Amino acid sequence: MRALALAFLLFTALVAAGPAAAIIDPREMLPDPAQEERARAIGRELRCLVCQNQSIDDSNAGLARDLRRIVRERVAAGDSNAEVIAFVTARYGDYVRLTPPLSAKTVALWASPAVVLALGLAAVFAFYRRRVTIPAPPPLTEEERARLARLAAE
Amino acid sequence: MTRRQVMFALPALATLAAAGGFYAMLSGMRRGSFDPRGVPSALIGRPVPTFALDPLPNWNRPGLSSRDILEASAVRPVLVNFWASWCLPCLVEHPQLMRLAAEGVPVFGINYHTGTQTDPGATAWLRRHGDPFSRIGIDLTGRVAVDWGVYGVPETYAIDRRGIVRWRMAGPITPEIEAEQLRPLLARLA
């Protein structure tokens, strides 16, 4: 029981420490904590194109560091979050955004959860309907009834 | 077709289609024309970004600016190549760049740095392997590379005679890419 409690404590400590583990050099940080917080929120939305499945906030790649610096320059210059993301998207395309915008090209991506759910529901519906429509076996004939009674008597 | 025939043909067709797709993907990867991690360039069809870069120190080539590119591209299409001496694929495409430069295609180089990685071996590399570039800019902060949308080296851009970026290759220009994509493109843009 004590071991379990210890494991739980360790787990919660790890989970709590998770978001703070982003690779940000203190020298990169903006002096204004509010601006730094915004820069991090933007950084979490931008893909590091070198590692591709990490945000620039989580990546140690040189390009991620360059982009973090540019994000901070834009934030310090007074750009809104959307303006900074537009600045980077103009250079690297929509793929750089970890939340892809809804457009003609991404509509299949955004619609896929609903489509898959609909297909699943349709499959379940079809399955149950087919089960119900299995015809009931025809009633026993006189001969069969007599045979069953004979067998039960033995 | 009966329902049974459809149920029989469907998996066979799906398997065939998948096989065709995988074949196209793998042969593209082997030829260098398909990169599964590739990201399309946002710069295609847009003008060359404005920049001015200093020359490589201790090397007899002038620096590079967007003005230089526009002046040269007014005469004939030019190539802009982001490169670094620590980049192995750059060595793979190097003979192709040397050949194109020898034929008179203007090839401009941008020596790529990131905030964490410098390139002290650049001049030694050029001395050892040859210099295909008529101008070389040194991008010490990686800032110009970001303006071009570069996410790794080598990357090569072709610029047409109106100063518009027409083509981008992320990764080495293999002999296949040179023959199948780059040369027809340069002939079209000339």
Is the predicted pLDDT of residue A20 greater than 60, yes or no?
no
Cβ distance of B146 and A91 shorter than 8 Å: yes
Give the per-residue pLDDT at A130.
77
Put simply, whether A66 touches B (Cβ < 8 Å) is yes
For residue A77, is pLDDT > 50? Answer: yes
The predicted model gives B4-13 an average pLDDT of 91
Three-state secondary-structure class, residue B164: strand
Name which of A4-18, A45-59, A78-92, A117-131 the model is least confident about: A4-18
- The pLDDT of residue A14 is 52
CATH number belonging to domain A2-96? 1.10.8.640
**Which residues, including other chains, have CB under 8 Å from residue A134's CB and lie 6 or more apart?**
none
Q: Which residue of A has its CA nearest to B143?
A: A66
Q: State the amino acid at position A72 in one-letter form.
A: R
Nearest to B149 among A50, A52, A92 (CB): A92
Mean pLDDT of chain A: 84
> A49, A52, A59: which to substitute to probe chain B, counting the most B Cβ within 10 Å?
A49
Are β-strands B135-139 and B155-159 bridged in parallel, bridged antiparallel, or unpaired? Answer: unpaired
What pLDDT is attached to residue A21? 45
Question: What mean pLDDT do residues B23-35 have?
Answer: 86
- Chain B nearest-CA distance from A145, in A, is 37
CA–CA min distance B114, chain A (Å): 5
ipTM of the prediction greater than 0.90, yes or no: no
Beta-carbon-side half-sphere exposure of residue A100 (alpha carbons within 13 Å): 13
Taking an 8 Å cut-off on Cβ atoms, the answer to whether A66 and B147 are in contact is no
Give residue B19's pLDDT.
97
The structure tokens listed for B27 are: 């042969």
pLDDT band per the 50, 70, 90 thresholds, residue A22: low
Cβ count within 10 A of residue B49: 15
Q: Give the lowest-confidence range in B13-22, B38-47, B76-85, B179-188.
A: B38-47
